Structure 1
């Protein structure tokens, strides 16, 4: 297997790509990681915080962000190549289908209002 570049190597994984958004207290991140035991790439949503012992210590808990912060994080993840082109293509298809469904609902509700 060809050796890949990584940002950080831990016992659990290698961080291959990373998006980061900081709010002054926490750093939110979406990462592409290679999980050594499973021998595969995965996407990880995570949280880091500066502590007295360590700068940007990984915090093993859920990542709670606003929709605006999530959009900013996704934008950065796309810019940092966290997601594959196949994944982005699939996401584009899902969003296009959602847009089509919403426009059909909008047209139907407009037609029913006009009949009244």
Structure 2
């Protein structure tokens, strides 16, 4: 175990650092204490004044290259187990890669949304989204967590996404079908699984 908090125990981690932004991006295997189950979490950490990384409460946005590197390290560090890697590979092999929209389906001050894969559970929606971040002038993949508001609309919750392996597979399959990932990324990912 790497660390224990009131919410979860961090069992394993794979991360890549972005020293220009004093942060690291991570995929973690965590154990949720209240639910008594293992999940996979996609998150950011920021360097604090003491030189230690502290969890950032926000969704993870990464380029496909960064996501590929995170998957590679997650497999190497066994954050993504052999059985989970096999499920991901089978999902890739059995799912037709969809085309991303040319026009965004939503536009906010921060970004434009071009594609989404999701997993619904009651009032919650977990997503993999292809977004264009205006300030950075680039497309990224967002790991989002949404909750229905009082009007019945899904609203982004600023927190890291954590899901079970089975929930991830449903969301990942939907993301492939809806064009969240490029064909190049899917082909490259398949080679390391």
State the TM-score, normalizing by the size of structure 2.
0.46
2:3 paired residue among 5, 8, 27: 8
Unpaired runs of at least 5, structure 1: 1-5, 103-116
More helix by share: 1
Match of 1:69 in 2: 66
- 1:34-91 CA-partner distances (Å, limit 9, x unpaired): 0111100000001000122661010010111110000000100111111232211111
Q: Does 2:45 match 1:26?
A: no
Q: How many residues align?
A: 95
Counterpart in 1 of 2:38? 41
CA distance in 2 between counterparts of 1:96 and 1:78 reads 18
Task: Return structure 1 stretches of 4+ with deviation > 3 angstroms.
Answer: none
The CA distance in 1 between the partners of 2:78 and 2:33, in whole Å, is: 20
Q: Tell me what 1:57 maps to.
A: 54
After superposition, the Cα gap between the structure-2 partners of 1:23 and 1:54, relative to the gap in structure 1 and judged at 3 Å, is: closer
Structure 2 unaligned blocks of 5 or more: 98-193
TM-score (ref. length: structure 1): 0.75
Deviations 1:2-29, CA, capped at 9 Å, x for gaps: xxxx111112111111001001021000
Q: CA RMSD in A?
A: 1.5
Secondary structure (helix, strand or coil) at the match of 1:52 reads: coil
- Which has more strand, going by share of residues? 2
